[in-house]
Structure 1
Amino acid sequence: MSESCNSRHFSWLMKSCLPNPSDAKSLVPIHHHANPPATVTPISSLPDDLLLECLSRVPSSSIPSLTAVCRRWSRLLLSPYFLHLRRRLGLLRHSLFAISAVDSGLFAAVLQPQSEVPSWRVSLAVCNDGGQGSLSHARAAAIGPRVYVVSRNAVLRYDSWTGTVALRSPMIFPRKKFAIAVVSGKIYVAGGGGGSEVTAAVEEYDPERNRWEVVTHAARKRYGCIGAAVDGVFYVIGGLKIGNETSVTSRGTAAHVYASSMDLFDVRSRQWLRSRSVPGGGCVVAACAAVGHVYVLSSHAVELSFWRFDARRGGGGGFGEWTRLKSPPLPAQVRLDGTVRFSCVGVEDKVAVVQVVGCIDDLLRRSGRSERGLRESLVLLYDTVDGEWRRAADLPEMITRAACACVEW
């Protein structure tokens, strides 16, 4: 074989592996990658369920900025599934929430009783739709981080995550001093009214559809009643009867019975259960639900009594049993008269009793005391585990005649 060689000595297969000098494309270097680059998928292309899984893990402080990304993200953050995922991941904290209306908007204050040093965090929200000026007799009910402030002719939704306020549909029957509670993500109201007219209609509000509808009628019309909910039962507690009783004796008896009793409405079956009465009589001035029980604060003209009703149905519990608990230690300057009202809010295993003076100037003038040392409102916390009371931070001064609720955020 000759030692010299040329292209004719190469087989066709070998020549096919060499670049052709006359072909510019064949001179382009070929890079061989051990691992081809992965395809980049933007988060916006994810389906809703996967996107919710991602968004539900962000810190609470980042949620306000997420709502401003796009309409789709804002819609997902408002969905009940986002709230369910954060609750399942243990990222929600229960807090005591108080809100009051001023000319410029709404003052909102949040207190976390579980903190080592609980303190109120105050914010001001402006309602661009108006309507905040008619909330003098409003009730508050919270669904997750959103608080619905329900008054006679208006309903406002306050988002504790974003600090925004939106106007929602009002109740069908305008009413004040009514009972309100949340059952399975829907709001229920009963009792109350305007003037001498007290309505028997029980309304249900669906926040997703922004719609009210009448679901039943109560056998007893109550004015000034209080609401609570445990295990699918809506409790309508206390209040007065405003009806057609002819004699003074009949009116007095009816008022006494109503003031110390509660009606039970089973939301799922749409049926009223047997009514219960608070032992010892008195007038129920505040009530709430916590850890499977209804807690009731009653006034006896010169003192308060505190009761617990076992509202756990089934499972061998003592449904319907009453237990008297230690009364809240109110300061000596607090008088049980018409100038003082109370709110009870269940916050996990705590019961918060918020005492609010309706008009502090009238109280000071009638009592003859100076303003020094007298606050318009105070907060007491009852621990349902050890059965002890302790005083929490007073409501901020700008929170007056507050509506209170428990929020998750």
Structure 2
Amino acid sequence: MSESCNSRHFSWLMKSCFPNPNHKSLIITPQPQHLHHNPPAVSLTTLSSLPDDLLLECLSRVPSSSLPSLSLVCRRWFYLLLSPSFLLLRRQLHLLHPSVFAFSATDSGVFAATLSFSSPQRSPSSSWELSLCLPMNTASLHTIPRLVSIGPRVYIIGRNSMLRYNAWTHHVIPKSPFLFPRKKFASAVLFNKIYVAGGGGSKATSAVEEYDPETDTWRVVAHSQRRRYGCIGAAVDGIFYVIGGLKIGGACGNGNGGVEAHVYACSMDLYDVEARVWLRSRAVPGGGCVVAACAVAGFIYVLASHAVELSFWRFDARRKCGNGGGGGEGFGEWCRMISPPMPTQIRLDGTVRFCCVGVGNKVILVQVVGCIDDLLRRSGRSQRGLKEGLVLVYDSVGGEWSRAADLPEVIRRAACEKQTK
């Protein structure tokens, strides 16, 4: 063997490693394989290759628990889950499950929990489910915000900020705040737009604002007849109800620059959002202070406080029912209902607060905040049978109250609203 490498021999060695293309025995021709036991191969169609209408038909049939995962697949799927068509398909398939959404903001972050219903007519589930826990600090949300919902999206409206939470994807994103900073205002949804009125900030405002979710913009659409602070909003049959609260100042345009707090009101201002006109105001027959209200099946249900007791009222808001559609026969009528059974008779003042949520034919009454220990010590009453986070359910068909699961311990200073899952 040679001690050194010879280039001529090395070239021959390299050439010997490559087959001769002219040698027929080395030419390999691929032959088609005929598998008689399998059908002819067809081109594969993936789920993502389907057009939007067919893909929506498939996605709308998945369980609610899988929706958060589906939203992470791709940007296209994320936006399809947010589309009105997806909501419509879920409704047609009877896959929408209403729930009560409770939101609370603290120095530690924001928390939310949901109490689900299998259907709008049935009782709620036996426990709350913690659906949101984010280590974020939004100072304007620390005072109890207002919540409104459009389908699965819950808008959390603070004094000068707004967040949108999607119950299907669990995403929280910031949205445009309204034009006039305010707190303790009335809010409601009509025709897929948000309306706010009343409240106070650096100065009182009479402006009624409208929010368009499609463009993420606010605009002033009217000015309220009376400036209210701590008022409550509800909506039925195209009417925005601004209920209760402190009446601040006089009528709009009276030239009175001072802000004078008079008394807690037991009245309602009615604004027709289509006609852009104010209707005749209505008042709760028994007087008192309106502490909670909501809309259920064409009626406005109002909870009023009389210092030592609660009264519960129903207002017929079915304006377009009746002959000819020009006005319902019972529109504007009040009816006193059975008062909620409180565990202990206590003095009702600013330390005990409530919120009402309408779900199907039920009124969900939630005790959302209260310095109950201090209140009981002042009144000398026993704490037995009374606890924070009390949840009561009123069946508007049967006319009876029942007890539901209490709010979770982490949620006390909360705002509540209906959502769709």
State the TM-score bracket (shorter-chain normalisation): 0.7 to 0.9
Corresponding residue of 1:123 = 131
Find out whether 1:353 has 2:365 as its counterpart: yes
- Which amino acid in the other structure matches residue 275 of structure 1? S
Aligned to 1:15: none
* CA drift at 1:124: 3.5
Greater mean alpha carbon deviation, residues 203-212 or residues 323-332: 203-212
Deviation for aligned residue 1:372: 5.7
Structure 2 counterpart of 1:186, one-letter code? K
Structure-2 residue corresponding to 1:4: none
Partner of 1:336: 348
1:46 corresponds to which of 45, 50, 57 = 50
Mean CA deviation greater in 351-360 or 377-386: 351-360
Structure 1 contact 233–266 (Cα < 8 Å) conserved: yes
> Of 375, 381, 386, which aligns to 1:363?
375
| Farther off after superposition, 142-151 or 365-374 | 365-374
Residue in structure 2 matching 1:89, options 78, 83, 93: 93
C-alpha contact 1:265 1:272 (8 A) present in aligned 2: yes
Gaps of 5+ in 1: 1-23
Which one of 259, 263, 283 corresponds to residue 277 of structure 1? 283
SS at match of 1:260: strand
Q: Distance in 2 between matches of 1:365 and 1:265?
A: 43
Q: Distance in 1 between matches of 2:293 and 2:407?
A: 19
Partner of 2:198: 191
Letter in 2 for 1:59: P
Alignment of 1:405 with 2:412, yes or no, is: no
**1:383 matched to 2:395:** yes
The CA deviation at 1:389 is: 0.7
Q: How far off is 1:244 after superposition? A: 5.7
SS of corresponding position for 1:44 = helix
Amino acid at match of 1:137: I
Q: For the structure 1 residues 31 and 58, does the alpha-carbon distance in structure 2 shift closer, same or farther, using more than 3 Å as the test?
A: closer
User: Counterpart in 2 of 1:140?
Assistant: 147
Structure 1 match to 2:216: 210
Distance 1:135 1:269 in 2: 36
What CA deviation, in whole Å up to 9, does each residue of 1:28-61 have, x standing for no partner? Answer: 7888999755443222222222222221111101
Match of 2:76 among 72, 75, 79: 72
Per the alignment, residue 176 of structure 1 pairs with: 183
Identify the residue that residue 406 of structure 2 maps to in structure 1.
Answer: 394
Residue 155 of structure 1, aligned match among 144, 162, 167: 162
Q: 1:395 to 1:335 in 2, by over 3 A?
A: farther
Determine whether 1:58 maps to 2:62. Answer: yes
TM-score, normalization by structure 1:
0.84
Q: Counterpart in 2 of 1:295?
A: 301
Change (3 A) 1:193 1:277: same
Q: CA deviation at 1:347?
A: 0.8
Q: Quote the offset at 1:88 in angstroms.
A: 2.0
> Counterpart of 1:19?
none
Q: CA deviation at 1:340?
A: 0.6
Deviations 1:105-158 (A, max 9, x none): 221111135357521112332166x52663313111111122111110111112
Task: Please state whether the residue corresponding to 2:374 is helix, strand or coil.
Answer: helix
Q: 1:7 maps to which residue?
A: none
Distance 2:32 2:44 in 1: 27
The residue matched to 2:397 in structure 1 has which SS? coil
CA shift for structure 1 position 369: 5.1
Which position in structure 2 is the counterpart of 1:166?
173
Paired residue secondary structure (2:355): strand
Distance verdict in 2 for CA 1:212–1:133, change over 3 Å: closer
Asked if the contact 1:137/1:152 (under 8 Å) is kept, the reply is: no
Q: Which runs of 5+ in 2 are unaligned?
A: 1-27, 323-327
C-alpha distance in 2, partners of 1:28/1:364?
A: 89
Find the partner of 1:236 among 215, 238, 242.
242
Superposed CA deviations along residues 328-372 of structure 1, whole A, max 9, x for unmatched, are 111225321110111111011100111234323432432345656
Q: CA deviation at 1:103?
A: 2.8
Quick one: which amino acid aligns to residue 273 of structure 1?
A: L
- Checking the alignment, whether the CA contact within 8 Å between 2:113 and 2:128 is kept in structure 1 is yes
Could you tell which deviates more after superposition, 330-339 or 166-175?
330-339
Structure 1 stretch displaced more, 173-182 or 362-371: 362-371
Identity rate, percent: 65
1:63-101, Cα deviation, whole Å (9 max, x unpaired): 001110111111111222211221222111111111101
Task: Report the TM-score when normalising by structure 2.
Answer: 0.82
Q: Distance in 2 between matches of 1:229 and 1:111?
A: 22
Change (3 A) 1:124 1:132: farther
Aligned equivalents of 2:335 and 2:80: distance in 1? 44
Q: Which moved more, 1:329-338 or 1:55-64?
A: 329-338
Q: Deviations over 1:163-184 (max 9, x none)?
A: 3322211111000110011112
Q: Distance in 1 between matches of 2:115 and 2:201?
A: 33
| Contact 2:237 2:320 (8 Å CA) reproduced | no
**Aligned mates of 2:163, 2:403 — CA distance in 1:** 30
Q: 2:346, 2:81 → 1: CA distance?
A: 43
Distance change (3 Å), C-alpha of 1:133 and 1:255: closer
